[in-house]
């Protein structure tokens, strides 16, 4: 698993991730959406971005406000066909928000709606050939979403002069 993740992360575009960082830090608010394990991975990324002091919302949560102009939607779907992510991207585009897509499929319906696409060369969860990964379903994709965004968080944090203690003050302390 570690070797597969290392190979995948070495193959991704540093420039695209740098552009993603700029989109994130320049957005009025950041919205995150994904389903299943991909959704859990992007929710973990959303939490870290909140720790940086950014306004971050998980789409679909009852406290998430309306997305609008100046906002960024990060939509994650390995196949790029997840209906909720595609619909969210359509809504975001219609109101003037920017769309950042994370997927394995550059020509997918979701990627076609994106302003920026982060392609993670992992197997689609329906690829059972074992040619890209020996792991089940979308595990490699989901792991790489988490690792990629943790690395991006670290890079963005390094660009600030915030201490770990300052970030910790934003950490959840109830519930």
- Residues designated catalytic: 142
Give the Cβ contact number of residue 121 at 10 Å. 15
For residue 74, list its beta bridge partners: 32, 100
Quote the Cα angle for 51-41-167, to 5°: 10
* Helix residue ranges per DSSP H, 12-123: 14-26, 36-51, 83-94, 109-112
Q: What are the beta bridge partners of residue 101?
A: 75, 117
- Length of the chain equals 175
């Amino acid at each position: 698993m570690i070797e597969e993740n290392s190979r995948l992360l070495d193959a991704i575009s540093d420039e695209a991730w740098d552009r993603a960082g700029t989109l994130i830090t320049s957005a009025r608010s950041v919205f995150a959406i994904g389903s299943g394990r991909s959704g859990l991975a992007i929710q973990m990324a959303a939490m870290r971005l909140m720790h940086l002091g950014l306004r971050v919302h998980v789409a679909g949560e009852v406290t998430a406000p309306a997305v609008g102009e100046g906002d960024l939607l990060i939509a994650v779907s390995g196949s790029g066909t997840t209906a909720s992510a595609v619909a969210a991207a359509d809504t975001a585009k219609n109101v003037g928000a920017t769309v950042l897509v994370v997927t394995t499929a550059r020509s997918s319906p979701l990627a076609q709606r994106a302003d920026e696409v982060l392609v993670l060369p992992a197997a689609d969860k329906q690829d059972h050939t074992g040619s890209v990964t020996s792991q089940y379903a979308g595990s490699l994709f989901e792991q790489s979403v988490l690792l990629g965004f943790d690395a991006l968080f670290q890079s963005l944090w390094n660009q600030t002069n915030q201490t770990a203690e300052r970030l910790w003050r934003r950490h959840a302390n109830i519930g």
